[in-house]
């Protein structure tokens, strides 16, 4: 008997959270506007436009049968890698844009900048979900050989965009892709003894690097300065000893902590800023929320993120389709890591990296990418059936 009951095809909890984020983002950018430079003026109006475009994109993803992504997955992945290759080769000249110490954008007249790496996050989630599902369908009886083959597939597909993003250089997005890959490996069905062996190796490498950093500080910093991650060196200085480097690498962190702390319990009120934090409308928008609305406002934002992630995990568990569940896990990994990293770097829990706060920071590419991901999640929810007899 195949009787089933279908709950509402639209998840109003997720829609409510995303709409709330849109209101908070645009309003915060509006209050920041008088303190921005000439180039950044009117960012709140641009953010409204990006949210409208993103909502249309999310609506399209909702009506498209997500199972069709299997058919176009390699075109999606190839498109993402091709864009990153164009950035790498700086082609076409005049379109590839340099900003903030990295070649990470395309700049189009009348449109603005587009950051391909933001979309690559979603493309990688789709690709890895497809590969895991197809591999498990073909290998119903798991062996060490089949698990190692799946692990090799995942690593190769992830390492290509990660390497292209690393040389831009963009450490923040590199870490997001690494987080997505790690989450997908954990839920891929690979035997735990293999995963524990890999984890032990990673911890050993991290331990060796930490010891080298402690006992050969000069050599390690010299190596970093000569690598693609030359900017990492100064960020560690600014993170570990911000007071010592108050006028250079530690400036942004000190301003950030001061702004968040000055908001106290209920904040200073809308538009009342006394601490000028660099990149406040993008990576450091959490400081603007904290200074205006204090601990209460910050807690509301964190609670909304928790509610969003909790609801997505529920949908993943309820889904009748493995592909849908894997897709949601990838989206959850993407959001959780980026939220943790962004807020963590604002309060000195983690080093500062160039990562926006999902749905809140100003940025067309980030907003579009995350709304497309939400569209996929809503699509999966709308096609989930609850059967009386499983």
Distances 197 to 161, 189, 205 between C-alpha atoms, Å: 25, 15, 13
Rounded distance between C-alpha atoms, residue 172 and residue 353, angstroms: 5
Q: Nearest Cα to 47, choosing from 335, 370, 361?
A: 361
pLDDT, averaged per 10 consecutive residues of the chain (390 residues), comes to 60 95 96 87 92 95 89 96 95 86 86 91 97 94 91 96 93 93 93 88 82 69 63 70 78 92 92 89 94 96 97 93 95 96 93 90 94 96 68
Give how far Cα 116 sits from Cα of 260, 330, 337, Å.
31, 18, 19
Q: How many C-beta atoms lie closer than 10 Å to residue 4's C-beta?
A: 13
Q: Can you give the pLDDT at residue 249?
A: 77
Buried b (16+ CB within 10 A) or exposed e, 134-156: ebbeeeeeeeeebbeebbebbee
Q: How much is the pLDDT for 86?
A: 96
Contact 124, 161 (CB under 8 A): yes
Cβ atoms within 10 Å, residue 192: 9
Rounded to 5 degrees, φ, ψ at 125 are -60, -50
Contact between 283 and 342 (Cβ < 8 Å):
yes
Rg of the chain's alpha carbons, rounded to an integer?
Answer: 22
> Which residues partner with 386 through β-bridges?
5
**Rounded CA gap, 341 and 349, in Å?**
9
Contact 332, 179 (CB under 8 A): no
By the 8 A CB rule, do 177 and 97 touch? no
CA nearest to 358, candidates 345, 380, 376, 340: 340
Look at residue 100 in the predicted model and tell me its pLDDT.
74
318, 315, 343: which is closest to 331 by C-alpha?
Answer: 315
Phi-psi sector, 143: left (phi>0), alpha (psi -120 to 50), beta: beta
Residues 267 and 236 sit within 8 Å (Cβ to Cβ): no
Distance (Å, whole) CA 269 – CA 20: 19
Phi then psi dihedrals of residue 113, to 5 deg: -100, 145
- Alpha-carbon distance of 122 to 331, in angstroms, equals 7
Report the pLDDT value the prediction gives residue 1, as an integer from 0 to 100. 46
């Amino acid at each position: 008997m195949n009787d089933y009951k279908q709950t509402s095809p639209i998840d109003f909890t997720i829609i409510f959270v995303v709409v709330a984020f849109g209101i908070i983002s645009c309003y915060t950018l509006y209050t920041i506007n008088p303190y921005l430079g000439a180039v950044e003026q009117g960012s709140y109006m641009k953010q409204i436009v990006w949210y409208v475009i993103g909502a249309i994109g999310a609506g399209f993803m909702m009506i498209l049968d997500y199972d069709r992504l299997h058919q176009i997955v390699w075109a999606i992945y190839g498109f993402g890698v091709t864009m990153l290759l164009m950035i790498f080769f700086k082609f076409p000249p005049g379109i590839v844009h340099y900003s903030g110490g990295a070649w990470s954008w395309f700049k189009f007249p009348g449109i603005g900048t587009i950051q391909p790496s933001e979309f690559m996050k979603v493309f990688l989630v789709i690709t890895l979900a497809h590969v895991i599902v197809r591999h498990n369908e073909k290998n119903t009886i798991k062996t060490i050989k089949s698990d190692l083959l799946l692990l090799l597939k995942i690593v190769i597909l992830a390492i290509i965009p990660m390497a292209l993003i690393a040389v831009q250089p963009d450490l923040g997005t590199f870490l997001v892709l690494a987080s997505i890959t790690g989450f997908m490996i954990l839920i891929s069905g690979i035997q735990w003894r293999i995963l524990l062996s890999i984890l032990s190796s990673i911890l050993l490498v991290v331990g060796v690097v930490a010891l080298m950093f402690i006992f050969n500080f000069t050599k390690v910093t010299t190596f970093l300065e000569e690598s693609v991650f030359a900017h990492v060196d100064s960020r560690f200085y600014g993170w570990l000893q911000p007071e010592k480097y108050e006028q250079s690498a530690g400036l942004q962190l000190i301003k950030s902590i001061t702004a968040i702390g000055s908001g106290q319990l209920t904040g200073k009120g809308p538009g009342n800023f006394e601490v000028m934090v660099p990149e406040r409308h993008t990576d450091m928008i959490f400081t603007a929320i904290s200074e205006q609305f204090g601990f209460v406002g910050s807690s509301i934002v964190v609670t909304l993120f928790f509610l969003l992630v909790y609801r997505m995990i529920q949908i993943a568990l309820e889904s009748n389709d493995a592909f849908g569940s894997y897709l949601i896990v990838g989206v959850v990994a993407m959001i959780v890591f980026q939220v943790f990293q962004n807020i963590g770097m604002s309060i000195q829990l983690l080093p500062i990296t160039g990562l926006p706060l999902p749905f809140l920071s100003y940025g067309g590419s980030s907003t579009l990418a995350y709304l497309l991901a939400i569209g996929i999640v809503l699509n999966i929810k709308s096609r989930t059936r609850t059967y009386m007899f499983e």
